[in-house]
Amino acid sequence: MLRIAEVHAVEILDSRARPTLAVVLRTPQGLKVRAGVPSGASTGRREAVELRDGDPDRYGGKGVSRAVAAVNGEIADALTGREFDSFREVDDALRELDGTEDKSRLGANALVGVSMAAARAEALLGDRELWEHLAAVAGARPRLPVPHFNVVNGGAHADNPLDFQEFMVAPLGAPSMAEAVRAGAEVYAALRGRLAGLGEPLGLGDEGGFAPTVTLEQPEEVLELLVGAIGDAGYEAGRGGVALALDPAASGFAADGGGYTVAGESLTSDQLIDRYEEMVDRFPVWSIEDGLGEDDREGWTRLTARLGGRVQLVGDDVFVTNPGIIAEAVQAKIGTAALIKVNQVGTVSETLDAVRVCREAGYAQMVSHRSGETEDAFIADLAVGTGCGQIKAGAPARGERAAKYARLLEVADARPGLEYGWVRAR
């Protein structure tokens, strides 16, 4: 049983110097837990809605004092002193209290902070690690995930000419979590050297990846650079060593009236699919996320038919971690995997439902951070507990990103028997 003695939120800053929430939950036993709420920059149109203040004189309208007030007012009044059978029951109470489909009245950022804190408290009350508790609730076999390190940032994550949002390296062939993190850090260091050699300033994007501004405009140029950096670091570029993964985030460069614009070139959906196929032919790309815009459903179907047997096709904006939307996409044969973001749907229990829908449909899952992060490593435990085998948490740099990788290393060290690696979907 989970009894809540106090729930309290405070406005803090995320990794982009924008406001977000930290939620503290206390139990009558004296247990105190904290949850830091992530916030996205590249957001799907149908994802749960953050509550922002809209006051232009305060944080440029991005303040979250209204969401803080919702936690400290209505939510605290509804939950304090109550006893719940599980954190799922807490989530049910939160959704009922909000009363909207998109969680816009009280704010998804308010709800998810309380939900994360409740799940963490329940795990501790049961004398379990968070990942162990989430595995038990989800009925999943825990697994250490392959990290996907976002080492070059573009799109909404950087002020540079690159339209594609994320270029990642994934140590699919690493024998362990420790060796995977080592590979990511060593490739990142080698990439730094290559960029310096090109005369690129070594500035970073929102997720800790380099944000080149001078010499790189085409995505193929970045992929070629990454293959070189992988070799410089002493690794094989490919699925047996360090593979490449893309998140073009195509909704961000979809043109008005249809089509896409990449580095100034206008492309139809089919021309963009052709280009992806050429990239897969030339480079060791194993995963493409949001290759087409969220409204280009016919294009998604063609993309899946064309490349779904060769690479993983991950839906983010098009799925928004929503179990119902994912189920519809499965029927429409859109994608082969789903990105999983706990704040995108607004509660932990709905996140686990999304994972379940994917698992039952034979879709892979990749747990993900957001561009605006805190030091909270909840998603590391979520990735391990769901056994999905994949996580992306940014570059192996900056404290809010490194905290997730550090947590994975701690779990691996404490439980040496846990398997590491990607799990192939049916």
3-state class (DSSP) for residue 336: coil
> Is 32 assigned a catalytic role?
no
pLDDT, position 258: 86
Q: From CA 332, how far away is CA 409, in angstroms rounded?
A: 38
Q: Output the CA angle 55-59-65, nearest 5 degrees.
A: 65
- Check whether 426 has a pLDDT greater than 60: no
**What pairing do the DSSP bridges indicate for beta strands 2-3 and 6-13?**
unpaired
pLDDT, position 133: 98
- Check whether 389 has a pLDDT greater than 60: yes
Q: From CA 143, how far away is CA 134, in angstroms rounded?
A: 12
Q: What is the CATH number of the domain that holds 154?
A: 3.20.20.120
Summarize the annotated binding site for substrate as residue ranges. 157, 166, 289, 316, 368-371, 392
Kindly indicate the confidence band of residue 425, based on its pLDDT and cuts at 50, 70 and 90. low
> Is 207 assigned a catalytic role?
yes
Same domain, 113 and 182: no
Same domain, 294 and 367: yes
Q: Tell me the residue range of the domain where 67 lies.
A: 2-127
Spatial contact of 377 and 404, defined as CB atoms under 8 Å apart: yes
Question: Is 420 inside any structural domain?
Answer: no
Q: What is the mean pLDDT of residues 190-212?
A: 93
* 425 against 218, higher pLDDT: 218
Question: Is 122 inside any structural domain?
Answer: yes
What would the pLDDT profile of 285-339 be if each residue is shown by its tens digit?
A: 999 999 999 999 999 999 999 999 999 999 999 999 999 999 999 999 999 999 9
What would the pLDDT profile of 79-114 be if each residue is shown by its tens digit?
A: 999 999 999 999 999 999 999 999 999 999 999 999
Summarize the annotated binding site for (2R)-2-phosphoglycerate as residue ranges. 165, 341, 370-371, 392
Q: Show the tokens assigned to 21.
A: 């929430």
What would the pLDDT profile of 220-240 be if each residue is shown by its tens digit?
A: 999 999 999 999 999 999 999
How many domains, in total, are found in the chain?
2
Exactly one of 186, 200, 207, 373 is catalytic; name it.
207
Spatial contact of 246 and 315, defined as CB atoms under 8 Å apart: no
**Domain end: 99, 127, 155, which one?**
127
pLDDT, position 190: 98
- Check whether 42 has a pLDDT greater than 70: no
Same domain, 217 and 102: no
pLDDT, position 295: 92
Give CA 296 to chain center in angstroms: 22
Spatial contact of 142 and 412, defined as CB atoms under 8 Å apart: no
Summarize the annotated binding site as residue ranges. 157, 165-166, 247, 289, 316, 341, 368-371, 392
Exactly one of 50, 62, 132, 341 is catalytic; name it.
341
What's the full length of the chain, in residues? 426
